[in-house]
A and B are shown apart, each in its own frame.
Chain A
Amino acid sequence: MNEESSRGTMIRGPRKIGMIAVLSIVGVIGIFLIDTMDGARTVTRDGVAMNTVVSVTLVSAKPKPQLNAILDEIFALIGELDKKFSMWNEDSPLSEINRNAGISPSAADGDLYSVLETARRVAMLTDGAYDPTIGSVTRIWRDGTGEGRLPSSEDIASALPLVGCEGLKLTSGGEAYLERRGANIDLGGIAKGYALWSIRRLLREKGVGSALVNMGGDILAVGDGDGDRPWRIGIQSPSKDRGTPLCAVRAANTSIVTAGVYERRWEMEGREWTHIYDPSTGFPIEGDLLSATVISADPAEGDALSTAFMVIGPARSLDLLRILPGVDAIFVLDSDERGMEVLATPGVRDSLEMFDDEYRLTFVDVY
């Protein structure tokens, strides 16, 4: 018997017990690790922010506390943007710009300046069909309906000359100035989209590669799905209960934003009105177009474009889409001549799925 085997015989029991103990502990730890590290986990949080419902889903292998901390940051970010962008909050930097219209330029911080730049660009691109300076009109409608009456034609006529993005100046020193006294900026048609853009930037910084954010129907799809399959986004049926999709599109690293006349409708003096105003008339829009969905990389641009498309209708929108590469759209119409119809650009041909046979699907070549 050599020395080693002799020593082995002497201490065989404790060594074996030690090994078993170590293996047991490793095994137990392993089982718990299976639960905590078996690839991606999904966390979702719903809340109310920017006067709408916000739902954020993160898919990541990060520990749950870390994901919850990211959700906290996202909701805090939305809250901060809401404070800056609201025209109804007298203390917001936007209200400061509105108060100083025709008087002096006001400071616009990074986010406010950036959203105004995008808003101004889309206003010019759409020839004012979307216009952030619609604020003087929306204020008149809000004041009037708040008192239970429609605004008078005179009121609207007096507000219309104040609308127009050529009167909004952005200086290289980070200031914004409305040249016409009484003009007002209303970021209602772009604020949610800009918030989605900011959330995407935050998620990139945090290393979250897969997420789905829904801000009152405006969608940001980060990554190409939840790991098992692509994100699928339903487009609301105009005539059915909320949550009933007319069709759906697959989405990866994109934003999907819809403007629809069925949302936030209200009744007064025997008829229904929509919440989308035509900057050229000062009145809520009318027509056969029920909704316009924009699929684009930039959710802020998509948000503003969807409003513009509702104002100018599908024919002029399709003309515009010819000069907007990478932007796709889906229009839902109900007209006397053509009946119920879905018009879509070819970019969604492979990902669009219809659920309602009552609507006829047509792809329109815009390339």
Chain B
Amino acid sequence: MGLPPKRGDLILYSVLAVIFLASCAASGLLLFTARGGSDLVLEAVLDGKVVESVDMKSLKDESTIEIRAGGGINVLAAGPGGVKMISADCRGGDCLRMPAIDSNGDVIVCLPHRLIVRVRSRGPAKASPIDSMTY
């Protein structure tokens, strides 16, 4: 039969246990934030970098977002059908004719300004039957 643990041992065990549990909690949080949740976020992407990011839930009808990109200005507006480009000083104005976006994977593109506006899920994308579109 062993000797009872000393007071110092107990303190050390407790400290190690706290560190271990804290690490587990941090890891769990990391795993959850990396893979959990399903909120949609509206992102403006310029040259591969996200320059604007807005929670879709925070967008109220008729709220607008102005994005300065590629030497010009694009204005997005939220409405009942989703988010639409309502103003752009680009050549051609193709982005103004693109449909409103509201679902994960939807995009509006302004090629002259090299701007992509997309809806993305914060968590894992809902299992979609389609990985990519050819057109």
- In the complex, A231→B23 CA distance in Å? 37
Name B58-108 residues within 8 Å CB distance of A: 98-99, 105-107
Q: Which residues of A contact B27 (CB under 8 A)?
A: 28, 31-32, 34-35
| Interface residue from B16, B105, B132 paired with A219 (Cβ < 8 Å) | B132
CB of B16 to closest CB in A, whole Å: 5
- In the complex, A38→B24 CA distance in Å? 16
* B30, B31, B106, B132 — most chain A CB neighbours (10 Å): B132
- In the complex, A219→B27 CA distance in Å? 36
A contact residues, range: 35 or more
Is A335 close to B, CB under 8 A?
Answer: no
Is A27 close to B, CB under 8 A?
Answer: yes
CB atoms of B48 and A257 under 8 A apart: no
| Interface residue from B9, B19, B129 paired with A24 (Cβ < 8 Å) | B19
CB of B52 to closest CB in A, whole Å: 14
| Interface residue from B9, B31, B111 paired with A17 (Cβ < 8 Å) | B9
Question: Taking CB as reference atom, which chain B residue is nearest A250?
Answer: B131
CB atoms of A47 and B135 under 8 A apart: no
CB atoms of B111 and A51 under 8 A apart: yes
B contact residues, range: 35 or more
CB of B131 to closest CB in A, whole Å: 5
Name A289-330 residues within 8 Å CB distance of B: 291, 293
Question: Taking CB as reference atom, which chain A residue is nearest B98?
Answer: A242
The contact string, 1 if C-beta is below 8 Å from chain B, for chain A 80-120, is 00000000000000000000000000000000000000000
Is A13 close to B, CB under 8 A?
Answer: yes
CB atoms of A226 and B134 under 8 A apart: no
Please give the residue numbers on chain A whose beta carbons come within 8 Å of chain B beta carbons, in ascending order: 9, 12-13, 16-17, 20-21, 24, 27-28, 31-32, 34-35, 45-48, 51-53, 55, 57, 71, 75, 212, 214, 217-219, 226, 231-236, 241-243, 245, 248, 256-258, 260, 262-263, 291, 293
Besides the contacts A48-B116, A214-B133, A231-B131, what 6 more A-B pairs have beta carbons closer than 8 Å?
A: A17-B12, A17-B13, A28-B24, A28-B27, A48-B114, A243-B133
